[in-house]
Amino acid sequence: MATKKKKLLIVESPTKVKAIKKFLGNGYEVAASNGHVRDLPRSQMGIDVDHGFEPKYITIRGKGDVLASLRKAAKNAEHIYLATDPDREGEAISWHLMTALKLEDAKDRFSRVTFNEITQSAVKEAMKHPRDIDMNLVDAQQARRVLDRMVGYEISPLLWDKIKRGLSAGRVQSVALRIICDREDEINSFIPQEYWTLDAALKVKGEKKPIVARYYGKNGKKVDIASKDELNAILKELEGKKFKISEIKKGERVKKAPLPFTTSTLQQEASKALNFSTQKTMRTAQQLYEGIDMGKAGTVGLITYLRTDSTRVSEEAQAAAQKYIVDAFGEEYLAEKIAGGKNTAKIQDAHEAIRPTDVNNTPVAVKEFLSRDQFRLYQLIWRRFMASRMAAAKYETTSVKIDAGEHRFTVAASRTVFDGFMNVYTDEDDQIEKNTLAKRIDENSELVLEEFEEKQHFTQPAPHYTEASLVHDLEALGIGRPSTYAPTITTILARHYITKENRNLYVTELGEAVNRMMNDAFPQIVDVTFTSTMETLLDGVAEGSVKWKTIVENFYPDLQSAVEKAGKEIAKVEIQDEVSDVVCENCGRNMVIKYGPHGKFLACPGFPECRNTKPYYEKTGVMCPKCGKDIVLKRTRKGRLYYGCIDNPDCDFMVWQKPSVKPCPRCGGLMLIKNNKLVCNDPECGYIGDKDTDE
């Protein structure tokens, strides 16, 4: 008697195999493709531009054995289910598997299935709804891959020729680099403006603790105090004036529960709350999605699919969350109405938000099975999802207007009257009650001035990008998609175009050179609007309204002509060996200036006989205000440029902007060059003047 053939289900990751096999039982064989099995060749662009831009796919090196095993399993299978990830990339992998396993002519023997979570109910439900491969999604992925390959293979050799070998350009990475460079330029050219605040500590009769009121303005109009002289004029007018409450206004403020996580908001919050890089967040979330060994319970997928733009939640998950909230916290903590959030028409919107697969798998209940990073990320996801189903937090607000002559001071305070969702989830914006008021205060309360507190401030530039804020802006600008943010940031860090210090991202000298060339030669490639429009067109391909080859046909000729023009017109960034006045102590030769991955350094020209190297410090002609030695251009260990004393670490003087050779005309101190201005390094001096053209 012949053995009954089994059904074959192919997933991407081998981590899922054991759990899904258990869910489906003995009638199924489950195997993994280990991601992509076919791709464009590395040795060439791999796109036939003369014959309809047809991609030339080859089997990925090392995947021959995997494919041989899958072919054998497919040959003996009753039916083949392609169950790769539920997104464009997953759809493309299924299509490549179909081709590699030669299933095109056996349409009745294979189907495509997708599931949003690795749980028994989700997998079994998915098996009831097999479908054909969605070629619109495949074409959207092909279009992205081909466009990225064109940009990379056409522009990267130009970077090699004009700057240095080993560099790369990318359709999304080059725009991300430009955004960071633009922010650095904004910070470096920022001129701080002086302003002052004035607080009055007022004793309320019958109360021990004074209230602190902030100066608002004069005659009911807002006044900004720009200088010490303006402050002194206000203080003079306040001399002998009585402070009287003119208005007390009470109200209620409601803070809505947050939406559940999408890919980008998870990356942002994990960066802020856990100090995770985008890459670490995605890697850890992938582990939680694919499944964790839960002992007797077996392998369990703890969260839904991690690549999504959607905040939608299934009815089953909604009902389970509501039951948990009522049981654990009470009926009053249940949200009256769930906000839907802004969902776009992107393909990932067919999925749900990132949420726990089972709300009863509380962080405490599963902690023993998770690593520290897995636990922290899962706890963040679980709490955020539960909070999204809970009632809003409510505050009682009090605002007080206090007049002294023609001048007005104000006090604002808030008190939590119902914590709502904040019972389980708070972020750094949810800090409560920064000011408190005396309980018995009213319009008739007597106030006595105890003291004024005056403070000088300077306006601050925009903050340096962090991974979280860069992801936020990339999403807001429509650059890339959730699945591209982590690899994009990882690539520009790995290329040393940017560096990361204390969460902040900084541009390196190499990054500035690459960005400058991309802006000069390929303004369209690094144009934010153009890249965003391209993403919209790719979404159109996924929806079936745009043909993918039409996009490529329109894009490539302009790219090719720009590359040819740049090859002729863009000047080579000279990185030749420049002879220095530093003598090699090993062999007596004058050392030369070389250019490495992290910038310039000194090397002995006698290499390989003499291998002596030293850091290279470019002199500024300015003396250190602390010790009188040279201020030189230096780099942090991660490649960020700064100006510091050559005698470091014995002298710790350093500044981020280039110092001027001219002393401050007001205090004689060091001045810094900021675009066309000279700014005194001493904020108490505050001198700002115009820079000479020869500076």
Tell me the catalytic residues. Answer: 305
- Of 503, 35, 33, residue with least CA distance to 280: 503
How many whole angstroms separate alpha carbon 511 and alpha carbon 531? Answer: 20
Single-letter code of the amino acid located at 595: Y
Q: Which long-range contacts (CB under 8 A, 24 or more apart) does 674-679 make?
A: 674/188, 674/189, 674/190, 674/191, 675/188, 675/189, 677/191, 679/191, 679/192
Q: ω into residue 608 within 30 of 0, thus cis?
A: yes
CA distances in angstroms from 326 to 255, 335, 420, 513, listed in the order given: 20, 10, 12, 58
Cα 274 to the center of its chain, rounded Å = 14
Q: ω into residue 363 within 30 of 0, thus cis?
A: no
How many whole angstroms separate alpha carbon 436 and alpha carbon 169? Answer: 54
User: What 3-state class would DSSP assign to 440?
Assistant: coil
How many whole angstroms separate alpha carbon 209 and alpha carbon 441? Answer: 12
How many whole angstroms separate alpha carbon 598 and alpha carbon 351? Answer: 42
CA distances in angstroms from 365 to 220, 296, 382, 388, 586, listed in the order given: 57, 14, 12, 21, 64
Burial classification of residue 129, based on how many CB atoms lie within 10 Å of its CB (0-12 exposed, 13-18 middle, 19 or more buried): exposed
89, containing H or E segment: helix 88-100
Burial classification of residue 431, based on how many CB atoms lie within 10 Å of its CB (0-12 exposed, 13-18 middle, 19 or more buried): exposed
- Of 628, 623, 685, residue with least CA distance to 660: 623
679, containing H or E segment: strand 677-680
Core vs surface per residue 297-333: b (16+ CB within 10 A) or e: eebbbbbbbbbbbbbbbeeebeebbbebbeeebeeeb
Q: Contact, 643 vs 618, CB < 8 A? A: no
How many whole angstroms separate alpha carbon 47 and alpha carbon 149? Answer: 9
Count of residues for the chain?
695
User: What 3-state class would DSSP assign to 608?
Assistant: coil
CA distances in angstroms from 50 to 53, 143, 247, 556, listed in the order given: 7, 17, 77, 11
Give me the half-sphere count of Cα atoms (radius 13 Å) on the Cβ side of residue 652. 0
Angle subtended at Cα 17 by Cα 11 and Cα 18, rounded to the nearest 5 degrees:
165
Angle between helices 263-274 and 482-494 (to 10 degrees): 50
How many whole angstroms separate alpha carbon 666 and alpha carbon 689? Answer: 10
- Of 48, 140, 54, residue with least CA distance to 90: 140
Burial classification of residue 652, based on how many CB atoms lie within 10 Å of its CB (0-12 exposed, 13-18 middle, 19 or more buried): exposed
- As a 3-state breakdown, the chain gives helix, strand, coil percent values, each rounded to 5, of 35, 25, 40
